[in-house]
Structure formats: C-alpha cells, structure tokens
Amino acid sequence: MRTLIVGAGEVGWYLAGRLAREGHEVVVLDRDRDLLLRRSRQGADVRMERAEATSPRALAEHRAGEVDLFVAVTTSDADNLLACLLARELGARRTIARVRDAGYYEPGADIAVGTLGIDMLVSPELTAVGDLESALRVRGAVRVEQFADDRLAIAQCKVPEGSPAARRTVVTRPHQTKSKIGALLRDGRVHLVTRDSVPMPGDQVVVAAPREQLKDACREIDPDARQVHRVGIFGAGRIGTALAARLARRGREVIVLEPDEARARDAAEELEDSSIEVLWDEGASETAMREAGIDTCDAFVSCAGDDRTTLLACTHADRLDIGLVLAVLSREEFAPLGEGLGVDGTVSPRLAAAERILRTARGTGARKSALLTDGLEALEYGITATSRLHDRPVAASLPHGTSLFAIVRDGEVRFPGDVERYRAGDSLLVLARGSHATDLAGVLGD
C-alpha cells in the first residue's frame, strides 16, 4: 500500500513509522526543513520531502492522486481539510484528515465519516476522551473494548497486591466468571500469555468475557476496585472539559481543577452543569487537591497538556489513595515512568488517533481492531465457508506473535480449549504483538 502523509509532527511520524515497519511504502511531506532533518536522523524507512501540501502543483508532483491512502495531520485544521480535498480531486483512493474542531463531530463521537467528501475526520483529543470514558465505565478496568456485536468484551485491568489472580498461573486463578486472561503488560512490555504465565502485583492483564460478565471478571482481578461515581480532573483544556461534559451526562459528579485562571473561568462558563465543579488553583499540589475535594473522588484523570505536570499531579493523587489514577500523555516513553509514580493507566491522544486511522489504513482484513497499548492490538475476524481456516483445527493455526483469544459461536462466547475446529459463522478475537497484526491478513483476511 502506498501512503502519503502530510505533517511530520507527532501523529504523522508515529503513523509513518508504524506503516513503514509493516512493509508499506510511506512518503511524508512537511514544509518545515528543520523538522524533516530531525526526523531523517531517527532512522525510519520513510521517504521525506519538503513541500507545501496545500498547493495543487506540489501534491501533483508527489503523485498524491496515485496513493492508496492520503493522511493530513498537520497542526492546522484548515490545511488538513484543504490538502485532503485536493488529494481527493487528484484521485487519491482514501483520505483522512486530523481535525480538532469539535464542531465537525456529532456529540459523543470522535470521528466523522464522509464530511466534505473526505473519508474520515479524526480528533486526537476526542478519541482520547472516548478512551478515558471507557476506562471509567467498568470498575477495576483501565480500558474496555467490545467485539462481536457487543457479545464479547475485553478489559485491561491492574493487578494489585492481594489480587486472587496474582502469583498464580492464569489457568489456576480462582474465578467464577467465564473469562480468560490473554496478555500481560509488565514494565512497559507486552507478553502473550501461555498456560504457565503468572500475573504479579503491578502488572496489567487483558481479560475477555461475555459482555454481561465483564464487570464481575474485572472484580476477580481487583476485588477492592471502587465503583466510579465521582471523578477528579486536573486540566481544563480540550480533553478535560470534553471528558467532564461526557461524564456529567452519564450521571457522574466531576471536580475540575485548573491552574490557569482564565482557562478555569472559560471552563466554568462552558460546563454549566450542577454536577460539575470547576476550581482554579495555581499549582498541582497535594494540599490544593485536598482543598478542592479531589481526595473524595473514586478516580482521577490528569490531562494538564504538559507530560511532566500531568505526572506530578498523578503522584499527588496517588498519595490521596484515589482508586484509579489515569494520565493523558503526549509521549509514550513517559508511560513506564508513570507506572512507578502511581499511574494505573495512560492514554495517548496520538495513539488514540492513530488507532482510528490504522483501522482503515492497513491490510489486516479485520472487521474491527483496537490498539490496546503501543505493542498490543486486538482484532476481530469472521470465518466463512470459503475462509482458509474453515473446518481446520484451532490448535497452532495462527502466525507467530499472535494468539487466539476468544471465539463467539452461535452468540455464545467460547475460548480456544472449548473448540476443536473453526466453523463458518465464527467470530474470532485475536491478540497481536508489535507489527504482527499484518501477518493475520493472509490467514484470516477475506
């Protein structure tokens, strides 16, 4: 697949690197010579060109009309929209634009399809809000996704000290639910589990269960996890205010703490809801949080816009014994540091937007995919009578670096040990590490 990406910033460069590692031909355009020079020193197998992507002549010179995918992710909404419109006119097969203006999206949505003839608009901030809202929905989970027409759900859960699942193999852990652990996240690394895998306190596990049993399955990992009724948010930027509004619509009480006085005032005017309290305090300190009532919250989200300030606020929240602490980080390399500072889960707007883009950009052949963390993806496939795996044994059927997680057959969730052969009509949930998701296309893709 040939891809042309406009914008060598964080989102564009992350996408370029992911697609290049998966064997796609990638060209990145940017007008900033110094930025392109810095990127060239990072060693990615990506061709970079200096160009003005809102110029029809420049796009034609770089064969924008011949690409399979055209992605515009500069910091300017107007430039991204114009570049996609021009590329579409030139003949690009698919176009995707990063657009931060919430006015382009329906309430509660983080993508828009077909607007102005562009295949997809995506907002990093709104996609991050969606991931945060998901993490605050199920007790004990820091991420929740649903598959197979919502019959199957997966959650990313933290393993606390004293967890019934800790220090025991995944097959001997005590549980009453119909659930399965498929992956471990430990010290920033992803491990697909085997029968002998042993979760330890401090790990996070990915667990699958029928949707109606997911909450109980998460409690079997962390029985002391609190139900989230009251949420503290540090930072009243785009993400903080949008998240507060969504949580209030779901009946949650919200305290928003903002260190910038003008921004706090604007947020208070925008968030006119009796269940939302917006407070101004100059710094992120434990004392300020106590005075604001953050210590009474069941969960805390730090989204200050600066990773260091975000993590500092999380350290104070952790000392307040808040049940769930989440951080919004712009740079994934800070995520392992966050784990040592009491952060239970991290959300990256860049990763969130990249997930939505990669769902449509890559040749995995999946019905649905979810990037759970950098290095772990969950993908749903369907088996038909003409599928390569139809009537084949389940055992040892998938490529290295991937693992069959669950099967939904006749509306019932089953796990690999319960099924001997694949059958037409099955929905498969597969976990894939790193770039191995693309290896699944030849086996499971239609």
Residue 7 has pLDDT above 80, yes or no: yes
Domain boundary among 106, 122, 138: 122
Please, which pLDDT band fits residue 336 given cuts at 50, 70 and 90?
Answer: low
pLDDT-derived band at 185 (thresholds 50, 70, 90) equals very high
- What pLDDT sits at residue 395? 77
pLDDT band, very low/low/confident/very high, at 285 (cuts 50, 70, 90)? confident
Claim to verify: residue 179 and residue 73 sit in the same structural domain: no
Same structural domain, 378 and 337? no
Residue environment code for 7-19, b if the CB has 16+ CB neighbours within 10 A, otherwise e: bbbbbbbbbbbbb
Rg from Cα positions in the chain:
22
DSSP state, 138? Answer: S
Rounded to the nearest integer, the mean pLDDT of the chain is 90
Q: Are residues 256 and 190 in the same domain?
A: no
Note whether residue 427 is domain-resident. Answer: yes
Q: What angle do CA 396, 400, 404 make, to 5 degrees?
A: 55
Between CA 236 and CA 56 the distance in angstroms is 39
Tokens of 90: 């030139």
Parent domain of 378: 364-444
CB 289 within 8 A of CB 280: no
Please say if the pLDDT value at position 445 is more than 80: no
pLDDT for 152 equals 96
57 vs 400: CA distance, rounded Å: 45
357 within a domain of the structure (yes/no) = no
In this predicted structure, the answer to whether residue 358 has a pLDDT above a threshold of 90 is no
Give backbone dihedrals phi and psi of 187, rounded to 5 degrees, phi first.
55, 40
User: For position 391, which CATH number holds?
Assistant: 3.30.70.1450
Neighbours of 114 (CB within 10 A): 9
Burial of 51 (0-12, 13-18, 19+ CB in 10 A): buried
Average pLDDT over residues 123-132: 91
Tell me 271's DSSP state: -
- Residue 127 within a domain: no
pLDDT of 368-380, one tens digit each? 888 887 789 899 9
Output phi, psi for 347, to 5 deg: -130, 130
The reply to whether 114 and 153 lie within a common domain is: no
- pLDDT band for position 355 (cuts 50, 70, 90): confident
Nearest Cα neighbor of 381 from 333, 443, 289 is: 443
Rounded Cα distance between 300 and 326, Å, is 6
- The answer to the question of residue 205 being in a domain is yes
Q: Is the pLDDT of residue 419 over 60?
A: yes
Decide if 137 is inside a domain.
Answer: no
- What is the arithmetic mean of pLDDT over 220-232? 91
The one-letter code for the residue type at 140 is G
Supply the pLDDT for residue 363. Answer: 54
* Minimum mean pLDDT range among 69-73, 112-116, 336-340: 336-340
* 322/372 same-domain check: no
Q: Are 84 and 5 in contact (CB under 8 A)?
A: no
Tell whether 285 and 174 lie within a shared domain.
Answer: no
| 3-state per-residue secondary structure call for 385-399 | CCCCCCCCECCCCCC
303-325 mean pLDDT: 90
Residue 35: CB atoms within 10 Å: 17
| Section 247-269 average pLDDT | 93
The number of folded domains in the chain is: 4
Show the tokens assigned to 58: 């420049």
Q: Do 46 and 120 meet the contact criterion of CB atoms below 8 Å apart?
A: no
Last residue in a domain, options 351, 385, 414 = 351
| Contact assessment for residue 431 and residue 402, using Cβ atoms and an 8 Å cutoff | yes
Residue 110 lies in a domain: yes
Do residues 46 and 82 share a domain?
yes
- The verdict on residue 133 lying in a domain is no
Would the pLDDT of 398 be above 80?
yes
201 and 266 assigned to the same domain: no
Pick the range with the lowest mean pLDDT from 71-80, 177-186, 335-344. Answer: 335-344
CATH number for 95? 3.40.50.720
Q: Which of 189, 221, 253 is the last residue of a domain?
A: 221
What pairing do the DSSP bridges indicate for beta strands 189-192 and 180-186?
antiparallel
What b/e string do you get for 152-177 counting C-beta neighbours within 10 Å, with b at 16 or more? bbbbbbbbbeebebbeeebeebebeb
Among 297, 349, 352, 304, CA closest to 324: 297
Q: Are residues 155 and 247 in the same domain?
A: no
Same domain, 322 and 287: yes
